[in-house]
Amino acid sequence: MSLRTQFLIGSLVAVLVVFSLLFVGMGVRLQHYFQAQLSSHAQDTATSLAVAINSALRQQDKMLLEATVQAIFDSGYYKRISVLDSNGKLIIEKTLSATNGEVPNWLPKIIKLDTPLRSAFVTSGWQQAGVVQVTSQPAFAYRELWQLMQDATIWLLAAIIFTMLLMATLIRSILRPLEKIEKAALAVADRHFPIIEPIPHARELGRVVEAFNALSASVRRMLADSEKAAERFRKQTLTDALTGIGNRRSLIANIEMLLESPLGEYTLAFIQVSGLVELNKVDGHDQGDKFVIALVSAILESPRISFLARLQGSTFAIVLESTSETALKEILDATCLRLEHVCRNYNLSGEVHCSAGAVRLFYNHTSSEALAKVDEALARALKSGQSEVDLIQGSGLSSTEWKRFLLEAMSGNRFILHAQQVIGQTGDKFPDETADVLHLEVYSRLIDSDGILIPAGRFIPMAVRHDLAIDIDRHCLINLLRFMSSSRMPRARYAFNISHDTFLDPSFPEWISKQLEDSALNNDDLILEIAESLVLASPHEAERFSAALKHHGMSFGIDQFGLQKATVTELAELHPAYFKLATDLTRHCTDVEEYGEYVAWLVKSSEILGIPVIATCVEKKEWFERLLKAGVVGFQGQLIGPTSPLENALDIEK
């Protein structure tokens, strides 16, 4: 019930009590008034009648006496009139049965009007000739009392309605600042920090608003400072100072992310442009810097670029969404032509050329292996004078065979699920026996014809190529929900990382909600995870996805967090359940001091917004201790617990 409603109900009760007391008081007062009127009326009539019948009583003229008494009695305002002689003998008596008149039967029962007997002596000189006794009829009084009560009720109701309208207007005016405070509080819960203006004139409300504004401004300053510090660390650690694009460290981090959490097929390319050294010698380093910036602008015109980094001088690294070998070679050749055009614009003399080498990223590569292979491709390109694209499949299956293999795997249900626990840690030491299991991270694996497990990093890129990623995600989710609904272990939450195609599918949120309902599971038993890069690449789809999940009572987490340019505030507007740090931030949090500081500022910003940060791939105790010091509250990795088949989920928790 709203505060306004409570105020109005309280005001109505108070008004009704006051007016009820007034009404009762008025009724008692009218009772006394009409009681006095009946008594006075009877006494006046008795006195007047005693004078009127004096002569008839002395002369014992019974007919005149009868006529006089009857004339007064016929007025109808009397219950009884009697005349007695001096000895008390009844001479004449007129009576009329008691009646309440045109009033409700309950009125005389509640308000009783006594009809007192009043008398007057009939005298003859100094002697008493008789007595006149009169009792008034209360019907008239009741009729007048009922009419007065009806009129009073109408006026009181009108007064109550007017008073309540006045109170409603007054309460609305008083509570208008509270409505602003309520909206501001909801905005804070939604990770916004507004300032309420103007300040209410009421002292108490004014102080509340001023305190809220001070708190909101303080939180905004803290968040802004944290995000500025995090952005400063990110630029120092992961960004090339001259161009603002990635550096070698961020390139390695992105390669590791793509190798461990594949979103599709990607190609890594190195591009080297000659002429920078000559330009620096002839025209100075300022002109050389402008030349490098112009090269970056030319590279960014290329299609299918996912990530761009500057390695050194005029050597750049590009991560491209993979396509056919012919299309990739065309993209690289076109890029080289644009870069050579930039060189001509800067009047570089001598033989100036651009070379590019590329290699497709495979699940069994490490970042160092991928960099070594692309270095070899670039060396061949420099030697031959043409771009080199190395797209060896490396899997033993052609593209067509992969598609058939994946379709057969779904029809034969050869996908199995593994899980790894994610714990919440608040103590200072590890292991902490009191740590709670936040959820179980679920991974999909594929069994080939020889019984060998194929990791997702190997088959997901092929699934994306053949538009099978959505089908595989749904197939694995159905298996997961089947296990969750039939598991004998205590109810736990599970997290499942969905592909880019599934994330973009507008029908997916409703589909998964229906599957949970059919499995008799709660919608919050399952958490969906998406990579931060997907969120930033498709911001409108991310808003739609977040709103749809919220509508169905579901939640999602943002994976591989911290390597992109998005601020924590921007991501928080999507209402994620948590952030999971990029693996590179975990692995280098101790050997790269900036990483540890960067994680600490990310955690601080997220903490202000009420979003927990979880570290993944925690494999060493020193990593755990450094991340715990940075404020991370959740941990996942081989140090916490191994990845095991989901059928042994009880063993996983143990």
Residues 507 and 635 occupy one common structural domain:
yes
User: Considering 161, 184, 219, which residue would you say is the last residue of a domain?
Assistant: 161
Q: How many domains does the chain have?
A: 3
What is the 8-class DSSP label of residue 648?
A: G
476 burial via Cβ count (<10 Å: 0-12, 13-18, 19+): buried
Question: 567 CB contacts (<8 Å, ≥6 apart)?
Answer: 227, 231, 605
Tell me what pLDDT residue 649 has. Answer: 44
Residues 350 and 440 occupy one common structural domain:
no
Lowest model confidence (mean pLDDT) among 246-250, 360-364, 533-537:
360-364
Tell me what pLDDT residue 364 has. Answer: 63
Cβ-contact 618, 639 below 8 angstroms: yes
Report the C-alpha dihedral over residues 596, 598, 603, 604, rounded to 10 degrees.
110
498 in a domain, yes or no?
Answer: yes
Question: 19 CB contacts (<8 Å, ≥6 apart)?
Answer: 156, 159, 160
Side-chain-side CA neighbours of 198 within 13 Å: the count stands at: 3
269 in a domain, yes or no?
Answer: yes
228 in a domain, yes or no?
Answer: no
Tell me what pLDDT residue 304 has. Answer: 85
Residues 618 and 511 occupy one common structural domain:
yes
231 in a domain, yes or no?
Answer: no
Residues 274 and 316 occupy one common structural domain:
yes
Residues 423 and 384 occupy one common structural domain:
no
Residues 385 and 419 occupy one common structural domain:
no
The Cα–Cα gap between 73 and 67 comes to 10
Tell me what pLDDT residue 140 has. Answer: 77
Tell me what pLDDT residue 265 has. Answer: 78
Tell me what pLDDT residue 541 has. Answer: 93
Residues 422 and 372 occupy one common structural domain:
no
Asked if the model's pLDDT at residue 520 lies above 60, the reply is yes
Q: Which residue did the predictor score with more confidence, 137 or 551?
A: 551
What is the 8-class DSSP label of residue 86?
A: T
pLDDT winner (highest mean) among 55-59, 236-240, 631-635: 631-635
- One-letter amino acid for residue 529 of the chain: E
609 in a domain, yes or no?
Answer: yes
Q: Point out which residues pair with 356 in neighbouring strands.
A: 271
71 in a domain, yes or no?
Answer: yes
Read off the pLDDT band of 139 (50, 70, 90).
confident
Q: Give the Cα-Cα-Cα angle 344, 359, 256 (nearest 5 degrees).
A: 110
Cβ-contact 614, 435 below 8 angstroms: no
The Cα–Cα gap between 59 and 129 comes to 11
What CATH number has the domain bearing residue 520?
A: 3.20.20.450
Residues 118 and 259 occupy one common structural domain:
no
Cβ-contact 532, 559 below 8 angstroms: yes
Q: Rounded to the nearest 5°, which phi and psi values hold at 183?
A: -65, -40
Q: Which residue did the predictor score with more confidence, 642 or 235?
A: 642
pLDDT digits (tens, 9 = 90+) for 540-551: 999 999 999 999
> Distance between terminal CA atoms of the chain?
46
For the entire predicted model, the pTM comes to 0.69
Asked if the model's pLDDT at residue 352 lies above 50, the reply is yes
415 in a domain, yes or no?
Answer: yes
User: Considering 111, 144, 161, which residue would you say is the last residue of a domain?
Assistant: 161
The Cα–Cα gap between 360 and 373 comes to 9
Asked if the model's pLDDT at residue 496 lies above 90, the reply is yes
pLDDT winner (highest mean) among 80-89, 138-147, 362-371, 496-505: 496-505
Token output for 602: 């990310």
Which structural domain, as residue segments, surrounds residue 355? 248-390
Asked if the model's pLDDT at residue 313 lies above 50, the reply is yes
Q: Give the Cα-Cα-Cα angle 15, 19, 23 (nearest 5 degrees).
A: 170
Residues 544 and 624 occupy one common structural domain:
yes
Instruction: Compute the mean pLDDT over every residue in the chain, rounded to the nearest whole number.
Output: 83
Tell me what pLDDT residue 393 has. Answer: 43
Asked if the model's pLDDT at residue 653 lies above 50, the reply is no
181 in a domain, yes or no?
Answer: no
Asked if the model's pLDDT at residue 589 lies above 70, the reply is yes
Residues 371 and 429 occupy one common structural domain:
no
Question: 9 CB contacts (<8 Å, ≥6 apart)?
Answer: none
Residues 566 and 442 occupy one common structural domain:
yes
What CATH number has the domain bearing residue 56?
A: 3.30.450
Tell me what pLDDT residue 349 has. Answer: 60
User: Considering 131, 161, 191, which residue would you say is the last residue of a domain?
Assistant: 161
The Cα–Cα gap between 167 and 161 comes to 10
Cβ-contact 319, 266 below 8 angstroms: yes
- One-letter amino acid for residue 507 of the chain: S
Peptide bond into 539 cis (omega under 30): no
Residues 373 and 444 occupy one common structural domain:
no
What CATH number has the domain bearing residue 303?
A: 3.30.70.270
Read off the pLDDT band of 433 (50, 70, 90).
low
